[in-house]
Chains A and B, each alone.
Chain A
Amino acid sequence: MKDLREHTRELLEKGEIAAVIGYRQVSEMRTKPVIVTDPADAEHLVFNEYCLNNLAVYLTKARIKALCRTKDKTLKLAITAKPCDVHSIVALIQENQIHRKDIHIISFNCHGVVKDFGCEFNGDNLASKCITCETHKPLYFDKIFGEEKETPKASDQALARIQELESMTHKERFEFFKGEFDRCIKCYACRAVCPLCYCQRCITDKAIPRWIESSSHQRGNFSWNIVRAFHLSARCTGCGECERACPADIPLTLLNRRMAIEAKRSFSYVSGRSLETPTLVGSFNEKDSDELFM
């Protein structure tokens, strides 16, 4: 922690970065995002198992970008990112939303985070994305802190549920999602926390024509949640923020992860893993399988 604070303080003092997007401890088992611009505030920064937020969501916000613009030059933005959050940053760079050179990535050796604030860190309370995580070391970084530690063991219930859904008939699966989406209240927290939902104007806010009904009845909820899953297919990096943010406890991971599995199976593509490869939806290969086209 000392290293993190010293490092960011130094960068801020030297004027190399405009701000640090980081975590601040608010109580024993809770942190919250913080944007540090004053070197003196670097002492609040932390990194631990309670750093749940994927801070990459802030990188595309106009108000945060504005912090970096000074009279004569554009300063870098530092971000503290878990190795999985780095995937989102990579995806944003791949999609030309940010430039690698503008971002100073401070990452960590990660052994998992809790599924929710207020939970003790152990196998039972491990966030579901951490159970299957293969990147305990970030793929890209400018500075890395933290020791390597063993991730607690836990069983992959999400995958089991996906398999369970696969084995259902169409009708059963429809009924399952109907029950889940019924609770949707269209607060769009899923969209708000998603680093890849960076559209200036979301399709659901468009009224002429209205593609997605704004009412949160069955049809409106289905069209919103399914369209969002489509828009995120082969883009979602699986950070799970949407599911964590959902006040209605809708298991959005089941949709997004299912799409990710398909992208990997059909195109050997995993989102946010390489700065060198183009995005799947942004590139065309004539040898690509077309069995997914309806």
Chain B
Amino acid sequence: MMEEKIISRDDLLKICKDVIEKGHTLLSPGIAEYNVVKDVSQIKLDASALPTKTSYKSYVFPKAEPVLYYKRSKSDVQLIDVNVDGKNIIILGAKPCDTNSLNIMKHLFNWDYSDEFFNLREKHFITIGLMCSHYDEYCFCTSIGLSPVSEKGSDIFLIPLDKNNFALRIVTEKGKEFIEPYSEFLNTVDETLSRQVTENVKQPEVAFDCKEVHEWLGSNFENPKWEGIGNICLSCAQCAFVCPVCHCFDIVDEDYSYTEGRRMKNWDGCQFGNFTLHASGHNPRDIQSKRYRQRVNHKFRYYVDKFGEIFCTGCGRCSRGCPVSIDIKEIVSNCKD
């Protein structure tokens, strides 16, 4: 399905206002993160903005969430289930590198066992993507099969035609359902206008070929390169936590009194030394080089083999934010040298 309309910025903001008034959560990109919009004047809808420092995955896969509550008495335990509220979350102005993230994570959260914490939120998530006209040295969406004009993962996709008007593409059924009540704001448009914009958008050059990287990783598990990177990498989880698709988590219990507490599902990262540490002291990935190798392999090889999709969106956040400037694009582009 694909339908294209034109909408003015003012009308778009009117929709936003209505969305907020209806009690839905509206998100829009700020500088550090995607913020909950309280006042529509905050909304910038700037296609040339830098990607936010963190992605919006926390709205579907929260950084810390309770999965159950427990009450203990002398020898008995009572468990209380949690329910995820099915509140609609509408994200406006998501970058095309972000919009595909939930599609990628979906595989993991649904193979065999379904994680309804993720699924329920994802079901109520409406993504309004915005074409991207910014790129910097860290961006590589085009290398992993996306692009600044990719509609993948968007329910509705916006393309700025001029300062005050957007072409609005209805991409999915969910998007159609969302926009239908607002059809008074939509007008017919000459589709060549948006095509002109998308065809002329500046795109990052393709930096590597995923198939080649996949192959190289398969035969270079013991390459000395990993050690070089491991010497520099400081083992924080910045890369994993800002990543729109990284999904590893920890499960921990938290007492808040002697008799009561809850079990939490918290973000965790494969770069932490204790991620794979056994209670016995044995650690399969005991040094940083092995952990970084795991990260790259998981993104460009393991996930591809397992779920048929590259575990990356090319947003470049991990590299942009890395305190020691480790650049994943540079590493996979130069893997063969």
Contacts and interface: CB of A to CB of B under 8 A. Distances in A.
A185 B267 contact: yes
Interface string B169-208: 0000000000000000000000000000000000000000
B237 A188 contact: yes
A97 to B, nearest CB: 16
Given A185-B63, A215-B252, A64 B323 contact: no
Interface stretch (A32-40, A80-88, A104-112): A32-40
B254 A248 contact: no
Interface string B14-53: 0000000000000000011100000000000000000001
A249 interface: yes
A21 to B, nearest CB: 10
B110 interface: no
A249 B31 contact: yes
Contacts of A220: 64
Contacts of B327: 26
B264 A63 contact: no
Interface string A189-232: 10111000000000001000010011111001000000000000
B32 A183 contact: yes
A5 interface: no
Interface in A143-166: none
Nearest to B30: A249
B68 interface: no
A210 B250 CA distance: 15
A205 B53 contact: no
Interface in B38-78: 53-54, 58, 63-64
Contacts of A244: 323
Interface stretch (B125-133, B155-163, B228-236, B301-309): B228-236
Interface string B208-232: 0000000000000000000010111
Nearest to A220: B64
B290 to A, nearest CB: 12
B236 A187 contact: yes
A184 B237 CA distance: 12
B105 interface: no
Given A189-B236, A192-B236, A241 B323 contact: yes
Contact of B323 (A183, A189, A215): A189
A248 B32 contact: yes
A281 B272 CA distance: 29
B143 interface: no
A241 B272 CA distance: 19
A259 B274 CA distance: 30
Contacts of B231: 35, 61, 63-64
Residue of A33, A35, A220 most packed against chain B (CB within 10 A): A33
A277 B244 CA distance: 48
Given A27-B137, A214-B266, A185 B241 contact: yes
A215 B274 CA distance: 16
Contacts of B63: 185-186, 216
Nearest to A190: B236
Nearest to B54: A247
Contact of A186 (B33, B267, B274): B267
B12 interface: no
A288 to B, nearest CB: 35
Interface in A169-193: 183, 185-189, 191-193
Nearest to B235: A192
Contacts of A183: 32-33
B325 interface: yes
Contacts of A214: 250, 252, 266
A30 interface: yes
A245 interface: yes
Contacts of B154: none
Contact of A193 (B136, B230, B236): B236
B288 interface: yes
A26 B330 CA distance: 10
Nearest to B52: A247
Nearest to B262: A215
B325 A32 contact: yes
Given A63-B231, A63-B288, A192-B236, A32 B324 contact: yes
B238 interface: yes
A31 B322 CA distance: 12
A8 interface: no
Contacts of A26: 325, 327, 330
B237 A216 contact: no
B335 interface: no
A53 interface: yes
Q: Top 5 closest A-B pairs, CB basis? A: A32-B325, A192-B236, A245-B323, A215-B64, A189-B236
Given A57-B234, A118-B136, A247-B321, 5 more contacts: A30-B137, A34-B232, A53-B325, A185-B241, A248-B54
13 contacts: A53-B323, A53-B325, A63-B287, A63-B288, A187-B238, A189-B238, A189-B323, A191-B236, A193-B323, A213-B254, A245-B236, A247-B238, A249-B31
